[in-house]
Amino acid sequence: MDRPHWAPESIDVERPSVARMYDYYLGGSHNFAADRAAAQAMITAVPDAPLMAQANRAFMRRVVQFLVESGIRQFLDIGSGIPTVGNVHEIAQRLAPESKVAYVDVDPVAVAHSREILAGNDRTTILQEDLRNPERILHDPQVRKLLDFDQPVAVLIVAVLHFVPDSDDPAGILAELRAALAPGSHLVLSQASDDGRSDEERREADQIYRRTDNPLNIRSRAALTSFFDGFDLLPPGVVWVPQWRPESPEAAEDAERAVFMGGVGRLGG
Protein backbone atom coordinates (compact mmCIF):
# COMPACT_ATOMS: atom_id res chain seq x y z
CA MET A 1 0.00 0.00 0.00
CA ASP A 2 1.05 3.61 -0.49
CA ARG A 3 2.37 5.11 2.72
CA PRO A 4 0.73 8.49 3.47
CA HIS A 5 2.98 11.44 4.28
CA TRP A 6 2.02 11.38 7.98
CA ALA A 7 3.09 7.76 8.49
CA PRO A 8 6.71 7.42 9.71
CA GLU A 9 8.82 4.86 7.86
CA SER A 10 9.49 3.03 11.13
CA ILE A 11 5.95 1.76 11.65
CA ASP A 12 4.53 -1.54 10.42
CA VAL A 13 1.32 -0.59 8.62
CA GLU A 14 0.27 -4.25 8.49
CA ARG A 15 0.12 -4.59 12.30
CA PRO A 16 -2.85 -3.03 14.10
CA SER A 17 -2.12 -0.19 16.50
CA VAL A 18 -4.35 0.51 19.50
CA ALA A 19 -3.95 4.26 18.93
CA ARG A 20 -5.05 3.99 15.31
CA MET A 21 -7.92 1.64 16.21
CA TYR A 22 -9.09 4.23 18.75
CA ASP A 23 -8.80 6.90 16.04
CA TYR A 24 -11.05 4.76 13.84
CA TYR A 25 -13.65 4.35 16.61
CA LEU A 26 -13.74 8.15 16.92
CA GLY A 27 -14.24 8.62 13.19
CA GLY A 28 -10.68 9.73 12.46
CA SER A 29 -8.71 9.15 9.27
CA HIS A 30 -5.23 8.36 10.62
CA ASN A 31 -5.52 4.59 10.42
CA PHE A 32 -4.68 1.77 8.02
CA ALA A 33 -6.50 -1.26 6.63
CA ALA A 34 -5.08 -3.49 9.38
CA ASP A 35 -6.33 -1.08 12.05
CA ARG A 36 -9.77 -0.86 10.48
CA ALA A 37 -10.05 -4.65 10.17
CA ALA A 38 -9.12 -5.14 13.83
CA ALA A 39 -11.48 -2.36 14.92
CA GLN A 40 -14.33 -3.84 12.88
CA ALA A 41 -13.67 -7.23 14.46
CA MET A 42 -13.89 -5.56 17.86
CA ILE A 43 -17.16 -3.87 16.89
CA THR A 44 -18.55 -7.25 15.79
CA ALA A 45 -17.58 -8.77 19.14
CA VAL A 46 -18.54 -5.70 21.21
CA PRO A 47 -20.99 -3.52 19.23
CA ASP A 48 -20.64 -0.72 21.78
CA ALA A 49 -16.94 -0.21 20.97
CA PRO A 50 -17.39 3.15 19.15
CA LEU A 51 -19.71 4.34 21.93
CA MET A 52 -17.02 3.37 24.45
CA ALA A 53 -14.43 5.55 22.74
CA GLN A 54 -16.83 8.47 22.35
CA ALA A 55 -17.98 8.27 25.99
CA ASN A 56 -14.40 8.20 27.18
CA ARG A 57 -13.51 11.20 25.02
CA ALA A 58 -16.51 13.10 26.38
CA PHE A 59 -15.37 12.25 29.93
CA MET A 60 -11.96 13.72 29.16
CA ARG A 61 -13.50 16.94 27.85
CA ARG A 62 -15.71 17.37 30.93
CA VAL A 63 -12.76 16.68 33.22
CA VAL A 64 -10.53 19.27 31.52
CA GLN A 65 -13.26 21.89 31.74
CA PHE A 66 -13.73 21.06 35.44
CA LEU A 67 -9.98 21.30 36.09
CA VAL A 68 -9.64 24.65 34.34
CA GLU A 69 -12.61 25.98 36.30
CA SER A 70 -10.83 24.70 39.44
CA GLY A 71 -7.76 26.80 38.61
CA ILE A 72 -5.51 24.22 36.94
CA ARG A 73 -3.37 25.69 34.16
CA GLN A 74 -0.86 22.87 33.54
CA PHE A 75 -1.66 19.50 31.99
CA LEU A 76 0.43 16.38 31.37
CA ASP A 77 -1.55 14.10 29.04
CA ILE A 78 0.14 10.68 28.93
CA GLY A 79 -1.13 8.36 26.21
CA SER A 80 -2.75 11.29 24.43
CA GLY A 81 -3.35 9.37 21.19
CA ILE A 82 -3.95 10.67 17.69
CA PRO A 83 -5.40 14.20 17.86
CA THR A 84 -9.07 14.59 17.05
CA VAL A 85 -11.52 17.40 17.70
CA GLY A 86 -11.62 18.41 21.35
CA ASN A 87 -8.03 17.85 22.44
CA VAL A 88 -6.88 18.89 25.90
CA HIS A 89 -5.14 22.06 24.73
CA GLU A 90 -8.15 23.14 22.65
CA ILE A 91 -10.48 22.86 25.63
CA ALA A 92 -8.09 24.30 28.22
CA GLN A 93 -6.78 27.19 26.12
CA ARG A 94 -10.25 28.18 24.97
CA LEU A 95 -11.25 28.60 28.61
CA ALA A 96 -7.87 29.90 29.86
CA PRO A 97 -5.47 30.87 27.04
CA GLU A 98 -2.44 30.72 29.36
CA SER A 99 -2.92 26.96 29.93
CA LYS A 100 0.03 24.73 29.07
CA VAL A 101 -0.25 21.15 27.84
CA ALA A 102 2.49 18.53 27.47
CA TYR A 103 1.36 15.54 25.42
CA VAL A 104 3.05 12.14 25.65
CA ASP A 105 2.44 9.12 23.45
CA VAL A 106 4.43 6.07 22.37
CA ASP A 107 2.77 5.73 18.96
CA PRO A 108 4.81 7.35 16.14
CA VAL A 109 1.72 8.32 14.13
CA ALA A 110 0.16 10.00 17.16
CA VAL A 111 3.36 11.94 17.78
CA ALA A 112 3.91 12.92 14.14
CA HIS A 113 0.36 14.15 13.69
CA SER A 114 0.44 15.96 17.03
CA ARG A 115 3.54 17.87 15.93
CA GLU A 116 1.64 19.08 12.86
CA ILE A 117 -1.37 20.14 14.92
CA LEU A 118 0.71 21.88 17.60
CA ALA A 119 3.11 23.74 15.30
CA GLY A 120 3.24 27.37 16.34
CA ASN A 121 1.58 26.81 19.73
CA ASP A 122 4.33 27.62 22.24
CA ARG A 123 2.17 26.57 25.20
CA THR A 124 2.18 22.92 24.10
CA THR A 125 4.70 20.18 23.41
CA ILE A 126 4.65 16.53 22.35
CA LEU A 127 7.01 13.81 23.56
CA GLN A 128 7.32 10.27 22.21
CA GLU A 129 7.60 8.10 25.29
CA ASP A 130 5.93 5.21 27.09
CA LEU A 131 3.88 5.60 30.29
CA ARG A 132 5.99 2.78 31.69
CA ASN A 133 9.00 5.12 31.72
CA PRO A 134 7.73 7.82 34.10
CA GLU A 135 11.23 9.03 34.99
CA ARG A 136 11.96 9.80 31.33
CA ILE A 137 8.71 11.73 31.03
CA LEU A 138 9.24 13.69 34.23
CA HIS A 139 12.83 14.63 33.42
CA ASP A 140 12.44 15.27 29.70
CA PRO A 141 13.79 18.75 28.83
CA GLN A 142 10.73 19.62 26.72
CA VAL A 143 8.35 18.75 29.53
CA ARG A 144 10.45 20.52 32.17
CA LYS A 145 10.74 23.64 30.04
CA LEU A 146 6.97 23.87 29.61
CA LEU A 147 5.63 22.71 32.98
CA ASP A 148 6.54 23.95 36.44
CA PHE A 149 6.23 20.99 38.81
CA ASP A 150 6.43 23.30 41.81
CA GLN A 151 2.90 24.34 40.82
CA PRO A 152 -0.19 22.12 40.43
CA VAL A 153 -0.27 19.89 37.36
CA ALA A 154 -3.12 17.70 36.14
CA VAL A 155 -1.88 14.32 34.96
CA LEU A 156 -4.29 12.64 32.54
CA ILE A 157 -3.94 8.91 31.84
CA VAL A 158 -7.13 8.31 29.92
CA ALA A 159 -7.92 4.97 28.25
CA VAL A 160 -4.33 3.79 28.71
CA LEU A 161 -3.99 1.72 31.90
CA HIS A 162 -5.70 -1.32 30.36
CA PHE A 163 -2.62 -1.64 28.15
CA VAL A 164 -0.31 -1.80 31.19
CA PRO A 165 -0.16 -5.30 32.73
CA ASP A 166 0.18 -5.85 36.46
CA SER A 167 3.68 -7.20 35.80
CA ASP A 168 4.71 -3.64 34.81
CA ASP A 169 3.56 -2.35 38.21
CA PRO A 170 1.03 0.34 37.24
CA ALA A 171 0.63 1.31 40.91
CA GLY A 172 4.38 1.92 41.13
CA ILE A 173 4.31 4.02 37.95
CA LEU A 174 1.54 6.18 39.38
CA ALA A 175 3.37 6.50 42.70
CA GLU A 176 6.45 7.81 40.86
CA LEU A 177 4.34 10.37 39.04
CA ARG A 178 2.60 11.37 42.27
CA ALA A 179 5.92 11.94 44.02
CA ALA A 180 6.82 14.57 41.42
CA LEU A 181 3.63 16.59 41.85
CA ALA A 182 2.92 19.63 43.98
CA PRO A 183 -0.07 19.83 46.34
CA GLY A 184 -3.21 20.78 44.46
CA SER A 185 -2.26 18.59 41.49
CA HIS A 186 -4.80 16.17 40.05
CA LEU A 187 -4.76 12.66 38.62
CA VAL A 188 -7.31 11.66 35.98
CA LEU A 189 -7.70 7.96 35.17
CA SER A 190 -10.01 5.89 33.03
CA GLN A 191 -9.77 2.36 31.78
CA ALA A 192 -11.92 -0.43 30.41
CA SER A 193 -13.73 -2.53 32.98
CA ASP A 194 -15.28 -5.95 32.46
CA ASP A 195 -17.91 -5.37 35.12
CA GLY A 196 -21.19 -6.52 33.59
CA ARG A 197 -19.69 -7.87 30.34
CA SER A 198 -20.21 -11.45 29.21
CA ASP A 199 -17.41 -14.02 29.25
CA GLU A 200 -17.71 -14.29 25.46
CA GLU A 201 -17.22 -10.53 24.98
CA ARG A 202 -14.17 -10.56 27.26
CA ARG A 203 -12.60 -13.49 25.40
CA GLU A 204 -13.18 -12.01 21.94
CA ALA A 205 -11.91 -8.55 22.92
CA ASP A 206 -8.82 -10.14 24.45
CA GLN A 207 -8.12 -12.16 21.30
CA ILE A 208 -8.48 -9.12 19.02
CA TYR A 209 -6.08 -6.95 21.03
CA ARG A 210 -3.52 -9.74 21.20
CA ARG A 211 -2.98 -9.01 17.50
CA THR A 212 -1.57 -5.62 18.51
CA ASP A 213 1.49 -4.68 20.54
CA ASN A 214 -0.78 -3.88 23.50
CA PRO A 215 -2.95 -6.72 24.83
CA LEU A 216 -5.82 -5.78 27.13
CA ASN A 217 -5.60 -5.88 30.91
CA ILE A 218 -9.17 -5.34 32.05
CA ARG A 219 -9.66 -4.36 35.70
CA SER A 220 -12.49 -3.97 38.19
CA ARG A 221 -13.78 -0.79 39.79
CA ALA A 222 -11.94 -1.71 43.01
CA ALA A 223 -8.63 -2.13 41.15
CA LEU A 224 -8.98 1.23 39.39
CA THR A 225 -9.92 2.91 42.67
CA SER A 226 -6.75 1.56 44.28
CA PHE A 227 -4.66 3.44 41.70
CA PHE A 228 -5.71 6.72 43.33
CA ASP A 229 -3.66 5.87 46.41
CA GLY A 230 -2.30 9.10 47.91
CA PHE A 231 -4.96 11.25 46.22
CA ASP A 232 -8.30 12.44 47.56
CA LEU A 233 -10.86 10.93 45.22
CA LEU A 234 -13.32 13.62 44.16
CA PRO A 235 -17.09 12.99 43.97
CA PRO A 236 -18.66 10.99 42.44
CA GLY A 237 -15.65 8.65 42.80
CA VAL A 238 -14.80 5.94 40.27
CA VAL A 239 -17.87 5.47 38.08
CA TRP A 240 -18.84 4.60 34.54
CA VAL A 241 -17.49 7.58 32.60
CA PRO A 242 -20.91 8.94 31.50
CA GLN A 243 -21.77 9.19 35.21
CA TRP A 244 -18.84 11.49 36.02
CA ARG A 245 -20.48 14.91 36.37
CA PRO A 246 -22.74 14.46 33.33
CA GLU A 247 -24.06 17.48 31.50
CA SER A 248 -27.60 16.14 31.96
CA PRO A 249 -29.23 13.19 33.75
CA GLU A 250 -30.11 11.67 30.39
CA ALA A 251 -26.44 11.59 29.40
CA ALA A 252 -25.73 9.10 32.20
CA GLU A 253 -28.44 6.61 31.20
CA ASP A 254 -27.24 3.08 30.36
CA ALA A 255 -23.82 4.24 31.55
CA GLU A 256 -22.41 0.71 31.81
CA ARG A 257 -22.52 0.42 28.02
CA ALA A 258 -19.54 2.79 27.96
CA VAL A 259 -17.37 -0.01 29.49
CA PHE A 260 -14.88 2.61 30.67
CA MET A 261 -14.73 3.62 34.32
CA GLY A 262 -12.99 6.77 35.44
CA GLY A 263 -12.34 9.19 38.23
CA VAL A 264 -10.37 12.23 39.36
CA GLY A 265 -8.18 12.55 42.43
CA ARG A 266 -6.63 15.63 44.06
CA LEU A 267 -3.28 15.68 45.84
CA GLY A 268 -3.64 17.31 49.24
CA GLY A 269 -1.03 18.87 51.47
Please tell me the distance from the alpha carbon of residue 25 to that of residue 172, in angstroms, as a whole number. 31
Residue 165 lies in a domain: yes
Residue 147 lies in a domain: yes
Between the alpha carbon of residue 10 and those of residues 13, 23, 49, 72, 105, the distances in Å are: 9, 19, 28, 37, 15
State pTM to two decimals: 0.87
Residue 18 lies in a domain: no
CATH code (residue 165): 3.40.50.150
Residuewise pLDDT in 10s, the chain (269 residues): 456 666 667 667 788 888 888 888 888 877 888 889 988 988 888 787 888 888 998 999 999 999 999 999 999 999 998 777 678 999 999 999 999 999 999 988 888 888 888 989 999 999 999 999 999 999 999 999 999 999 999 999 998 998 899 999 999 999 999 999 999 999 999 998 877 666 676 666 666 666 666 667 888 899 999 999 999 999 999 999 999 999 988 888 888 888 889 999 999 96
Q: What are phi and psi of 125, to 5 degrees?
A: -155, 165
pLDDT in the model for residue 28 = 82
pLDDT in the model for residue 186 = 98
pLDDT in the model for residue 211 = 63
Residue 210 lies in a domain: no
* Cβ contact 78:156 at 8 Å: yes
Please state, as a whole number, how many other Cβ atoms lie within 10 Å of the Cβ of residue 120: 6
Between the alpha carbon of residue 84 and those of residues 20, 33, 89, the distances in Å are: 11, 19, 11
State pLDDT tens for residues 49-77: 888 888 998 999 999 999 999 999 999 99
Q: Which of left, alpha, beta for 167 (phi over 0: left; psi -120 to 50: alpha)?
A: alpha
**Contacts of 61 by beta carbon, 8 Å cutoff, 6+ apart:** 86, 91
Residue 142 lies in a domain: yes
pLDDT in the model for residue 123 = 97
Helices (runs of H) and strands (runs of E) counted in the chain: 10, 8
Number of domains in the chain: 1
* Range(s) of the domain holding residue 59: 51-197+217-266
Residue 144 lies in a domain: yes
Residue 237 lies in a domain: yes
Between the alpha carbon of residue 240 and those of residues 24, 34, 189, 254, 256, the distances in Å are: 22, 30, 12, 10, 6
* Cβ contact 258:194 at 8 Å: no
